[in-house]
Structures are given as C-alpha cells and as structure tokens.
Structure 1
Amino acid sequence: MCFLKYEDMKRDIRGAINKLANFLGKDLSEETVQKIMDHCSFNAMRDNLNVNMKGHGFYYREKGAFIRRGVVGDWQNHFTVAQNEEFDALYAKSMAGTGLTFES
C-alpha cells in the first residue's frame, strides 16, 4: 500500500508523483511529471468541475464547493475541539500499526 499525505504533496509534489510512479512500477518522463504537476496543482484542481463540483454532493454545499483553500492545517478552522478529540481517538484506533501520523 502506498500512503501519500496532502502535507507531503504540498511540500514536494514532484517527490510525491515519483513515489507513486515507483510504487506503480512506472517510469515517467520529465515532461509527463510536469504535466501531472500542472494538472494536479491546487488551482487546476479547484477549477476542474469534475473534481470541485460546486453545489454538488454533501461537502461544503453551503459554501458552494468541495475544495476549500488548499492550506495545510486549515482543518483547525473547521473542527471544534470536541470534533478533533473524537477524530484523534477514531484515527488512533483505526490506523494503529500503519505508521501514519498527522502533522499538527
């Protein structure tokens, strides 16, 4: 299983693309990596209606879009302390042994 975290992708998108390509056994040209980087940029994803279906689904319907701001740690502006504690407990139970951690 290959784990990619949003924080890691924001920090080093090229490294994340190469990690996934290696996991899939693919050898990507520099041109292909650049195209993926362009297509997967936050702005491109936000503007792609197939990804950011404004007014559809249940995520942020009242705000009109699935994708919020693309800022690492912005979840803290949306979770209450109680929600964060509940999430942390569920995460610890469900993901025990995976080695995955969240950044604060």
Structure 2
Amino acid sequence: MRIGRGEVVKLCAFLGRDLTDEAIDHVVEMSTFKSMKTNPKANYKDLVETNHYKTETMRKGIAGDWKNVFTVAQNEHFVNVFKEKMNNLPLTCLWEIKE
C-alpha cells in the first residue's frame, strides 16, 4: 500500500499547511515502504544494530499476518493492553479483513 498525493494534500489541508508540488512529491516518495526501510530515522536500524531489537523493526505488513507472528498468548496480551490503554478513544479497529 502506498500513500498517494491525494492523501498528502488532505493531510496538509487538515494541518493548515500549504506545500509545493515538489514537497508533496517528496513526502509521497519518502513514505514508501522501500524508502522507510532504508531510512534509519524511520526504521530504528541503529537500535537493531546495537541489539536493542533482535530483529528488523520494519516489516511489510500483510493483512491478517499477525496470526503467523503472535502466539495465542501474545495476541490475548496485546488485545488486553490495547483495550486498557485505548478505551477512551473513539476509534474502531478492523483486525481482520473478510474476503
């Protein structure tokens, strides 16, 4: 999934900022997975190399792939912490995409 120009323009309008076409193109390019994966400011690469993290912190997500990453216990823990920390926010999260 890639962020498009339209999303950047909407975000700029929401934030009350006016960017040039060149700046918008730069935001779109820098927000690609490929760019973020190679940008140490976006992917915590330095922390990975100093063993703060044992694996890469950037994964190209696939909807529902959490089932192949989390154990049942880890998923239950995540759900409980998420509910506890986010219970006051008016958000609805879609955890699975039904085909």
TM-score relative to the length of structure 2: 0.68
For 1:88 and 1:15, locate their aligned partners in 2 and report how far apart those are by CA, in whole Å.
33
Alpha-carbon distance in structure 2 between the residues aligned to 1:71 and 1:11: 13
SS in 2 for 1:50: helix
RMSD over aligned Cα, in angstroms? 2.5
Give the percent of matched residue pairs that are identical in Structure 1 and Structure 2: 36
Q: Give the C-alpha shift of residue 46 in structure 1.
A: 0.6
- Structure 2 residue corresponding to 1:92, chosen from 83, 95, 99: 83
Which amino acid in the other structure matches residue 27 of structure 1? D
Q: CA deviation at 1:89?
A: 1.9
- Judge conservation of contact 1:42–1:70 (CA < 8 Å) in 2: no
Gapped regions of structure 1 (runs ≥ 5): 1-9
TM-score (structure 1 length as normaliser): 0.66
Deviation readout 1:43-97 (Å, 9 max, x if unpaired): 00111233331424533x2x3x221224344333221122112211221222123
Partner residue, 1:23: 14
The answer to which structure has the higher helix fraction is 2
Moved over 3 A (4+): 10-16, 70-74
Mapping of residues 10-89 of structure 1, within 5 Å: 10=1, 12-52=3-43, 53=45, 54-56=48-50, 58-59=52-53, 61=54, 63=55, 65-89=56-80
Deviation at 1:37, TM superposition (A): 0.7
